[in-house]
Amino acid sequence: MAPSVSVVLPMRNEEPYVRRVLAAAGAGAGAVSDDYEIVVVDNASSDGTRELATALARADPRIRVLDQPGPPGLGAALRTGYAGASRELILYSDADLPFDFQEVARAVRLLEYQEADVLSGYRFDRTSEGLLRTLYTLAYSALVRTLFGLRLRDINFSFKLFRRALLERIDLQSTGSFIDAEFLVRARNVDARIIQMGVDYFPRTRGDSSLASPGVILDILREMARLAPELWRTRLPPAPPRAQ
């Protein structure tokens, strides 16, 4: 039987995208299983994001809207969404439609076929987000690979598909945008099987992103410095080869 799917969508001032991303997420998850839900986490929006998402949730019981308590932050919002997700698989995406949600069915098939715990998406071509953002992404991914020995591409891309049971084995602590790297490092540290899949990337066309702002970058580096000692300590010894 097809696995059930929770789509977790953190949103902060994403009113122009709400209708489109909920429709796309529903179509993508519905192509996998009739048993799916969409978990919207409102991350202290000051526009009409929460009101519009709530109105759409009233018309579709598969949509739920959660509020992120406390200060806003991507990590805090994702932790709230992951805690509220109830299906077998969890898919995380940003609300600005960074990839075609029709890729979700392919991702689920690959996860199941490879008997993996995590599928981390990466962009075939990142240059459309601009030179500065591309350089930031490449430099950050290289830094994470060097510090944590994480041999993955495009660490911060918002396409992560994983088994909900994995959350019982890891304790996410990041409140900001270091959450992607923390999740992957902690998953690797408990010997979760991580695979990758490339997708076409579609840059934001509405609103502004703050992910490459100096403040966000500084917060990522601060969280990295705070969590790195624990992430280094908690890595398990390599597991024996898996039976074929």
Identify the pLDDT of residue 206: 72
CA distance 4 to 32: 8
> Does residue 244 surpass a pLDDT of 60?
no
Identify the pLDDT of residue 207: 61
205 vs 118 pLDDT, higher one: 118
> Does residue 239 surpass a pLDDT of 80?
no
At 231, the pLDDT band (50, 70, 90 cuts) reads: very high
CA distance 104 to 159: 9
Average pLDDT along the chain:
92
CA distance 49 to 60: 16
CA distance 181 to 144: 7
CA distance 102 to 106: 8
Other residues' Cβ atoms within 10 Å of the Cβ of residue 215 = 9
Identify the pLDDT of residue 241: 55
Identify the pLDDT of residue 128: 74
Question: Mean pLDDT over residues 111-127, rounded?
Answer: 94
Six-digit token string for 41: 């986490």
Let me know the angle formed at the C-alpha of 226 by 77 and 133, rounded to the nearest 5 degrees: 60
pLDDT digits (tens, 9 = 90+) for 61-93: 999 999 988 788 999 999 999 999 999 999 999
Name the residue among 64, 15, 20 with its Cα closest to residue 208. Answer: 15
CA distances to 2, 105, 106, 108, 199 from 102, in Å = 16, 6, 8, 11, 11
> Does residue 242 surpass a pLDDT of 70?
no
Identify the pLDDT of residue 240: 58
Identify the pLDDT of residue 213: 67
89 vs 244 pLDDT, higher one: 89
Identify the pLDDT of residue 132: 79
> Does residue 212 surpass a pLDDT of 70?
no
Scanning 70-178, the segments in alpha helix (DSSP H) are 74-84, 103-113, 131-148
> Does residue 125 surpass a pLDDT of 90?
no
Query: Residues 209-216: contacts with CB within 8 Å, 24+ apart?
Result: 209/96, 211/133, 211/156, 211/177, 212/132, 212/133, 212/136, 216/176, 216/177
